[in-house]
Chain A
Amino acid sequence: MNENVLVRVKDLKMHFPIRAGILKRTVGVVRAVDGVSFDILRGETLGLVGESGCGKTTTGRAILRLYEPTSGEVNFRGNDLASESAEEVRRTRRHMQMIFQDPYASLNPQMRVGEIIARPLRVHKLASNAREEKEMVADIMQKVGLNVNFRDRFPHEFSGGQRQRIGIARALATSPDFIVCDEPISALDVSIQAQIINLLEQLREDLGLTYLFIAHDLSMVRYLSTRVGVMYLGKMMEMSSADELYDSPLHPYTKALLSAIPIPDPPLERRRQRTLLAGDPPSPANPPAGCRFSTRCPIAVEHCRKVEPEFRLATEGHWVACHLV
């Protein structure tokens, strides 16, 4: 494996059973992630975008093995996580952490901030004594811009933006290499979002972190990401460097998605052509045959409805799953 590859995902599938009736028999499966493959390179930020239900969050969680993947491989620093035992995974997790979307639900309301940040240090036995632990917590709090004197406060005493800083501090506690950021700013107000984004960017530079940045805000993803992947209904549709994806998208879904984002520039907005997609995304429990996007695709032909396109390299570093490009 290439030296630069930190995480390699190979044909990852995550299916959730649908159970019904008194006996909770499985009556179907939701194909949340249905065979995705990609690499995350050391030091990069890989953005993952798509609409709700496309499987981007599930992909992030399955990579950290917060879910037991249905099939496929997740290779982290050369070790296959899927085949590791629970104990081995626990040890590996020190190096891979997560920042959650909801800074209200993801912090234990009964724990003080200092305890929340110290917990991962204790789990992984990273501090040799109480004094060292205290110093480490103070150091992390400083890094994320939290006042160290607030270590004995409870989460409810903080604003949304500050809580997200606590979540970031907790993720940083174990000095990880890799962090999955799952919509870390979508619960925050616009004026606070930029503060958190700048912090994440600063930390990545200072600590040499690698991010998987999951979001539906495509402007923010472009700003932050080295490369971007676009998901639709459990499949990767397109992936390339951020600038290439935004300036010359290949897949009709990416094009429609980008044209749907309004730009805060009124004269430009009036000139822009919209590619409006008809209808809603189909259910991942019953995806369409052939290309998953064929039911809403403006250029789909008969072939698209029968044969699923392969995720292939179209040009240097630019992957796409479409018969017609």
Chain B
Amino acid sequence: METTSLHTTGSKQGKRLLEVRNLETKFYTADGVVNALNGISYSVDEGECLAIVGESGSGKTVGVLSILRLIQSPPGRIVGGEILFKGTDLLKIDDKELRTIRGGAISVIFQDPMTSLNPVMRVGAQITENIREHENLTSRQARQKAADLLGMVGIPTPAKRLDDYPHQFSGGMRQRVMIAMALSCSPQLIIADEPTTALDVTIQAQIVELIKSLQAELGTAVIWISHDLGVVARLADNVAVMYAGHIVEKAPVDELYARPAHPYTIGLLNSLPRLDARIKTKLKAIGGLPPNLLGMLQGCAFAPRCMFATQICREQAPPAIEVAPRHQVACWHSELVSAGERP
């Protein structure tokens, strides 16, 4: 049977797969223009796991949905930038070409497996639908492949479960079905949008380990969106931190946790108690609230909550500068910040 095709995408990390440049997405609502993404740039290499970290409303989900042009329009619109996937700008190709990439070379795993699976369709039919959309297989071959995929993501008696409906699976098992669907056409890039947020911790650990091992085995690149800095520490090669529609800091994972250089990143890391810490010092909370993205923001978006903020921060948005190899920070005072000094 055709199971080998699952294992043919394995490749070494290194070659540039995706490059996002100055991506800008806005939502034109009745209340005004929401500046959801304000010119973000990042890249993903083959086999890499990039984590995008941020709180609700930071633009992390909009940022990756924009890659596949999955932003609902109206009210949303991608107003600027480039999304180069293996050299092709995804913003310039037509819908038909884009459809071969969606669910093919790039696939998505959404946060909530209950609402992203069709409740009145057997899971086997949902998986084979995607396979047959992209690959020229008979229904029997596609069904066999679907069963192989379910087996691969750790669902017991996969051939039998093909005829079950989503509600007959538990939350963790549904997320495995979603992963099987995402893998069905040997993608080169998987976008995982908080895939473990709705799950219990022991199930979350199962899913994280599953994705890690699949990634090692298949060499697929992963963009992992999360607000959980623990999960990111476990999974990611590189991390981008988002705040108010900007990437404020970007670095290899060890570098980011060891030498964070943006006050927001430091604030996030300091506000978490550690599971392995006996000492109980007062948590350092970040004061204030995330900004409203309605209307134009002047200066650095984090300035109102930042203890390093000065006049320039309130007036001009900081450019991203490189503070160490592959470590970029958008902060006027990153030198002071990484030195741990207060202005």
Contact = CB atoms under 8 A, between A and B. Distances in A.
Interface of A: 51-52, 159, 161, 189-195, 197-198, 201, 216, 218-220, 222-223, 243, 246-247, 256-269, 274, 276-277, 280-281
Residue of A189, A256, A257, A268 contacting most chain B CB atoms (<10 Å): A189
Name, among B202, B232, B285, the residue most crowded by chain A CB atoms within 10 Å (CB to CB).
Answer: B202
Contacts of A267: 254
Given A262-B228, A263-B276, A280-B170, 7 more contacts: A189-B227, A190-B268, A191-B285, A194-B271, A223-B273, A257-B202, A266-B236
Nearest 7 CB-CB pairings of A with B: A262-B230, A223-B273, A194-B285, A260-B205, A194-B271, A51-B200, A194-B283
A263 B235 CA distance: 11
27 contacts: A159-B289, A189-B56, A189-B290, A190-B229, A190-B272, A191-B267, A191-B268, A191-B285, A194-B284, A198-B282, A201-B282, A219-B272, A220-B273, A222-B275, A222-B277, A223-B277, A260-B205, A261-B275, A262-B208, A262-B231, A263-B276, A265-B274, A266-B257, A269-B230, A276-B205, A276-B209, A277-B202
Contact of B273 (A51, A222, A274): A222
B293 interface: no
B253 interface: yes
B209 A261 contact: no
B276 to A, nearest CB: 6
A191 B283 contact: no
B201 interface: yes
A207 B47 CA distance: 54
A69 to B, nearest CB: 25
A256 B204 CA distance: 12
B271 A263 contact: no
B284 to A, nearest CB: 7
Interface string B49-80: 00000011000000000000000000000000
Interface string B264-300: 0001110111111110101111110110000000000
A192 to B, nearest CB: 8
Nearest to A52: B200
A128 to B, nearest CB: 37
A216 B201 contact: yes
Contact of B274 (A195, A219, A266): A219
A274 B209 contact: yes
B274 A243 contact: no
A262 B234 contact: yes
A198 B281 CA distance: 10
Given A222-B273, A265-B257, A247 B278 contact: yes
Q: Which of A161, A197, A269 has the most CB of B within 10 A?
A: A269
Interface in B206-258: 206, 208-209, 227-234, 236, 253-254, 257
B227 to A, nearest CB: 6
B173 interface: yes
B172 interface: yes
A195 B276 contact: no
A181 to B, nearest CB: 15
> Size band of the B side of the interface?
35 or more
Nearest to B255: A266
A210 B242 CA distance: 38
A198 B275 CA distance: 17
Contact of B278 (A191, A243, A263): A243
Contact of A198 (B171, B204, B205, B283): B283
B203 interface: yes
Contacts of B228: 262
A264 B272 contact: yes
B233 A265 contact: yes
Nearest to A193: B271
B238 to A, nearest CB: 11
Contacts of A194: 271-272, 283-286
A266 B256 CA distance: 9
A193 B287 CA distance: 11
B17 to A, nearest CB: 22
Contact of A190 (B209, B227, B254): B227
A190 B231 CA distance: 14
B233 A195 contact: no
Which of B208, B253, B271 is packed against the most chain A CB atoms within 10 Å?
Answer: B271
B285 A266 contact: no
Given A262-B208, A265-B233, A266-B233, A246 B275 contact: yes
Contacts of B283: 194, 197-198, 223
A264 B229 contact: yes
Nearest to A51: B200
Interface in B167-189: 170-173
A195 B236 CA distance: 28
A274 B230 CA distance: 14
Contacts of B286: 191, 194-195
A282 to B, nearest CB: 10
A246 B170 CA distance: 29
A3 B280 CA distance: 28
Contacts of B202: 51, 256-257, 260, 276-277
B285 A264 contact: no
Contact of A262 (B173, B233, B284, B285): B233
A222 B276 CA distance: 9
